[in-house]
Amino acid sequence: MNTFFRHPVWAMAFRPFYLLAALYGALSVLLWGFGYQGTPELPGFYWHAHEMIWGYAGLVVIAFLLTAVATWTGQPPTRGAMLAGLAACWLLARLSIFIPGWGAAASGIFGTLFFWYGAFCMALPVFRTRNKRNYVAVFAIFVLGGTHAVFHRHLNPFDPAALLTGLQSGLIMVSGFIGFIGTRIISFFTSKRLNVPQIPSPQWVAHAALWLPMITAMLMAHQILLPLAALAAAAAGVISLVQVYRWWYRDVLKEPMLWVLFAGYAFTGLGLLAVGIAYFKPAWLNLGVHLIGVGGIGVLTLGMMARTALGHTGNVIYPPPKSVPVAFGLMIAATLVRILATFVSGTAYTHSIRCSAALFAAALLLYAWKYAPWLLRPRKDGRPG
C-alpha cells in the first residue's frame, strides 16, 4: 500500500486532478451535448451544469490551489494517502451521481466533503505558516463547498427555481477563483516571459477580484439583496476588464501560454458584467452564464493546466508543445459557438450546442493525450513534485 501512495501521480495535486478533469470534462460535456437525460433526481440540464461547475471546474481549482500553496508557504504539498483520499471523494461523487434513487444524495455528500477536505488540506500549510494573504482562499473553498451543499438541499423536494439560483451562485463563486488566481499570476507570467515590468495591482483590487463574486454568490444563494448582488457582479466584471487592459502588452499575442490566460480572464469579466446587467435585463443572463462557463472556465482552466503542468513536471514552457495552441484554439472556438447558441433557436440551437460540446471535448482530450505521460511519470529533472 505504501508503494501505491509513493507513485508519482500522488506527488502533487495537479497530477491526478488535471488528468481526471480533462477526461471527465470531455466525457460529461459530450454526454450533455448528445442527449444524456440524467436521472429522475437530477435531470439532464441540472446534471450538466452541476458537473461543469463543481465536478470539472471545482476539481481544477482545488488542483491549482493545493499545488500553488506549497510554493506560497514553503511547506510540503498535499500528497500520498491524503491526496488519494481527496481524489476518492471526488470520484465517488462523480460515479454516484449516475445512480438513480440515492445517487444524487450520495454525490451531494461526497462532493461537499471533497471541497471541505480540500479546504482543510490548504488550511494546514496556510495556518501553520500564518500566511494571512491566503486565509481568504481557504474560506472561499469552504464557501464553494457550501454552494454545492445548498444546491443538493433543494433536490428533495425538487425546487427548479432554487436549483437554478444554486447553479448560478456556484458559477459566480468559480469566477471569483478565476479573479483571485488571475490577479496572482497573469501579470507575473507576462513580465517573466516578455521581460517587461510587472504591473502591480492595488491591494483592494486583489481582494475585490475574489470578494465581489463571493459576495454575489452568497447573496444569490440566499436570494437576498439581489440589487447589491447585481452591482457586485458588474463591478467585478469591470475590474477584470480594466485589469486585462492594464496588464496587456502587444507581444502577448505571440505567446499562446499568455494570450490564453488573457482570453479566459476577459471572458470571465464580460460574463460577470452580463450577469450584473441581467438583474435589470434578464435576457442577458444566459449570455453571462456561458461567457463564464465556457469562455472563463473552459479557456482559463485549460491554459492553467497546460502551463503549470509543464513547469511542475520539469518540461520547457516556452515554446509550448505544438498541440497546445491547437487545444487553445479549439476551446476558444467552443466558446464562440456556445455564445452564438444563445442567439438562435430550434435546429440551429441544437447543432450549436453539439458543435460547442465537441470542440470543448476535443480541446480537453488533446490535452489529456499530450500531458498524460508527464502527469504519470516522475519529473524530467529528477526533482520532487
Ramachandran category for residue 42: left, alpha or beta (phi over 0 → left; psi -120 to 50 → alpha): beta
For the chain, report the end-to-end CA distance as a whole number of angstroms.
20
The structural domains of the chain, ordered by start, are 2-376 (1.20.210.10)
pLDDT tens digits for 90-146? Answer: 999 999 999 999 999 999 999 999 999 999 999 999 999 999 889 999 999 999 999
Q: What pLDDT band is residue 206 in, cutting at 50, 70 and 90? A: confident
Is 70 exceeded by the pLDDT of residue 147?
yes
One-letter amino acid at 14 equals F
Distance CA 239, CA 212 (A): 10
Residue 384 banded pLDDT, cuts 50, 70, 90: confident
User: Does 203 score more than 90 pLDDT?
Assistant: no
Nearest residue to 259 (alpha-carbon basis) of 303, 294, 291: 303
Mean pLDDT value across the chain: 93
Predicted confidence (pLDDT) at residue 168 exceeds the cutoff of 70: yes
Residue 200: cis peptide before it, omega within 30 degrees of 0: no
pLDDT band for 298, please (50, 70, 90 cuts): very high
pLDDT attached to residue 223? 83
Residue-wise pLDDT for 220-274, tens only, equals: 888 889 899 999 999 999 999 999 999 999 999 999 999 999 999 999 999 999 9
- Residue range 264-273, pLDDT digits in tens: 999 999 999 9
Torsion on CA atoms 308, 80, 72, 187, rounded to nearest 10: 10
